[in-house]
Amino acid sequence: MCGRYNLFSEMQAIAERFQAIEQEELLDEPRYNIAPGQNITVVISEENKRKLTALRWGLIPNWAKDPKIGYKMINARAETIDVKPTFKGLLKRKRCLITADGFYEWKKENKQKQPYHIHLSNKEPFAFAGLYDEWENGAEIIRTCTIITTEANELMAEIHDRMPVILTRENEKVWLDGEITETAELKRVLVSYEAAFMNAYPISSFVNNARNEGKEILNSL
């Protein structure tokens, strides 16, 4: 699964990296410990234009009666995304890029869990594959999203058996292309990123508490 990540690149750099022509008023400050239930920066495509916007992490399906369901839907499995009723409709029409600089995972070591920071070797920002939806409660509309996960690559398998789907730049184009609705073509990009282009290192348990923030979270042990 993916339950915590970071985004500390400046918003202008993110807009340029993902070729977002439009952007809403977004919180432009480093985030080192992003957790479910918080607003996050994503890229969506509207009328063939990429737009940076904020969505709440934790999918609330439009049919949900209780918004608390979002805390149980922070991730969606790539293997079953086209058969589960909650996700298969969104797969065809509501796909997004969830922007990040790195993410965290915990490795079981004896009776302890050792946190790791994982990022691309070139230290550039990247995108998780995501789905989003809109939930209405009277006049209130809440837009939420989920991160898609897949089997771990060789690097991640030493830490955890799952990892978020990190899209290559070419696959980002496929994922945001509203003209593409074929399940097979979409699922083709939902694979584990090449381990050779990723790094992982152990960090302090300071990251364990979602209320903790700051660049020191990234410090290697």
pTM score, whole prediction: 0.95
> What is the set of domains in the chain, with CATH numbers?
5-102+121-151+164-192 (3.90.1680.10)
d(CA 70, CA 145): 9
Output the pLDDT for position 59.
96
Q: Dihedrals φ, ψ of 109, to 5°?
A: -130, 105
Average pLDDT (156-182) is 96
Q: What is the pLDDT of residues 68-78, one digit of tens each?
A: 888 889 999 99
Q: Are strands 140-151 and 49-57 parallel, antiparallel or unpaired?
A: parallel
Annotated catalytic residues are 2, 105
**Residue 14, class by beta-carbon neighbours within 10 Å (0-12 exposed, 13-18 middle, 19+ buried)?**
buried
DSSP 220: B
Q: What is the pLDDT of residues 114-142, one digit of tens each?
A: 999 999 999 999 999 999 999 988 788 89
Output the pLDDT for position 180.
92
Residue of 24, 28, 31 lying closest to 10 (CA atoms)? 28
Average pLDDT (88-95) is 94
Contact present, 18 and 172 (Cβ < 8 Å): yes
Higher model confidence: residue 64 or residue 219? 219
Average pLDDT (179-201) is 96
User: Residue 123: helix, strand or coil by DSSP?
Assistant: coil
